[in-house]
Amino acid sequence: MSSLLNTHQRRRVEVTLYLVEQGLDEIAGYLRGELPAGEMYEMVSDLSLDERTAMLAHIDDAKRKIAKIKNDFGLDARTNDLRGLIMGYLSSLWESLHNTRPRNLKGFGAVAPALYETLDPELIQIIDRINTMLAVISRNRKAGN
C-alpha cells in the first residue's frame, strides 16, 4: 500500500500521525496522574476513574490503528532530538519574558515607574538563567555531545 501515497501525501500523513500520537501520549500521561504543577499553575483532574480508564483504552486503540497505518503504508517514524526541543522551548520562553519586561508593557496601559526597580530585575534574572541554559546546550552541541 505504500505506493498509494505520493511523497507529499506521505509526508503529510507521517506528520499528522506523529502529532496525533504525541498528543495522545501527553493526554495518557495526564490520565495516569502525571499532572504538572508550579507556582503559577496547577492542573487538576476532574475525571472519574471510569472515565480515565475508558479514555486510556480508546487511546491504546487509536495508537494500535496508528501503528497499523504506519506498517501498512511503510511510513517512517520520526526521531526527535531533546536538545532541539529544549532549545525551542527556551527560545520561546526567553521571548515571552522579554516581552513582559516593563518597557514592553506600555501597550497594556501606563507602566508604574516602580516596576522598573521591582519586576524588571526579577525578570532579567530569569532571562539570564534561560540564556545560561541555552549556552549550556549550545556548548555541548558544538562539542559533539
Averaged over 117-128, what is the pLDDT? 98
pLDDT at 47: 98
C-alpha–C-alpha distance, residues 29 and 56, integer Å: 9
CB 70 within 8 A of CB 21: no
Q: How many Cβ atoms are within 10 Å of 18's Cβ, its own excluded?
A: 17
pLDDT at 144: 54
Please, what is the average pLDDT of the chain?
94
Averaged over 9-36, what is the pLDDT? 97
pLDDT beyond 60 at 93: yes
pLDDT beyond 70 at 131: yes
pLDDT at 3: 87
C-alpha–C-alpha distance, residues 96 and 46, integer Å: 30
pLDDT class of 142 with cuts at 50, 70, 90: low
C-alpha cell at 99: 516581552
Share of the chain above pLDDT 70, in %: 96
pLDDT digits (tens, 9 = 90+) for 73-84: 999 999 989 999
pTM (predicted TM-score): 0.81
